[in-house]
Amino acid sequence: MIAPQAISPYRGPAWRLVEAQHLVSTLKLVDSLAEQEMLEAVLEESKPSLPPECRGLDYLLATPFRYGAVYPHGSRFRRAGRTQGVFYCAETVETALAEMAFYRLLFFAESPSTPLPANATDYTAFSALLAVERAVDLTHAAMADAGNWRDSVDYSDCQNLADAARAEDVSVIRYASVRDPGAGSNLAVLACTAFAAPAPTARQTWKLRVGAGFVQAVREFPRQSMEFSRADFAGDPRLG
């Protein structure tokens, strides 16, 4: 299923966004930083154990591989059920923002009774360095017609490919983003061993404002802004 000529080494940054609340979510429950540290330690002990190869990684990198609960719905390269984790990311922060903008719009489209947020939400964009000997590039000519890699809702071919990739010790899948109007590429990291550094190598703070049919993203330092409309994602039947 995987063309040998589409497998090659891969090295470079991978960008991912998380709500900035992850930094302070427990602080409001305690009266001091010392108590917060104790609470975080208790919470850490209550979580499933990390796979051995993930130990020593910053939690931002390890979290997608950690949780042992049933994965409810499946995603592009991960089946539903008790399945191995996938660290989804993008080659650039702009593509990561496009992906996040799509899912914010999708959330409100699928829950129309939920009021739009009155204020912008803080997000942390962080970059992790990847370095692997075996990555498969689904944008390679040898893979372009090998499966349905770009469907917005049917992930069966992609999930089959992820199974084949793990069997062949391929730990990163590079694929075209179907959300990014700029036609950037995403990365699916299948194993913790793909990280060349144990912690993020860069961080940025972004504010995302969701409106009726649009998402605005603003970074103060250095200044950058982007805007996405529902029309940018019209290829997805859930927003089209």
Strand partners, 16: 126
Contact call for residues 88 and 64 (beta carbons, < 8 A): yes
Per-residue pLDDT band for 237 (boundaries 50, 70, 90) equals very high
Q: In a 10 Å sphere around its CB, with 0-12 CB exposed, 13-18 middle and 19+ buried, how is residue 143 labelled? A: buried
At a CB cut-off of 8 Å and minimum separation 6, what does 70 contact?
A: 80, 81, 82
If phi over 0 gives left and psi between -120 and 50 gives alpha, with beta otherwise, what is residue 74?
Answer: left
Which pTM does this prediction carry? 0.90
In this structure, the number of other CB atoms found within 10 A of the CB of residue 32 comes to 9
Q: How far, in Å, CA of 211 to CA of 104, rounded? A: 10
pLDDT higher than threshold 90 for residue 240 = no
238 has which bridge partners? none
Q: Characterize 91-116 residue by residue with b for buried, 16 or more Cβ atoms within 10 angstroms of its Cβ, and e for exposed.
A: bbbbbbbbbbbbebbbebeeeeeeee
Q: What is the pLDDT of residues 11-33, one digit of tens each?
A: 999 999 999 865 556 666 666 77
The answer to whether residues 165 and 173 touch, using CB atoms and an 8 Å cutoff, is yes
| Per-domain boundaries in the chain | 4-233
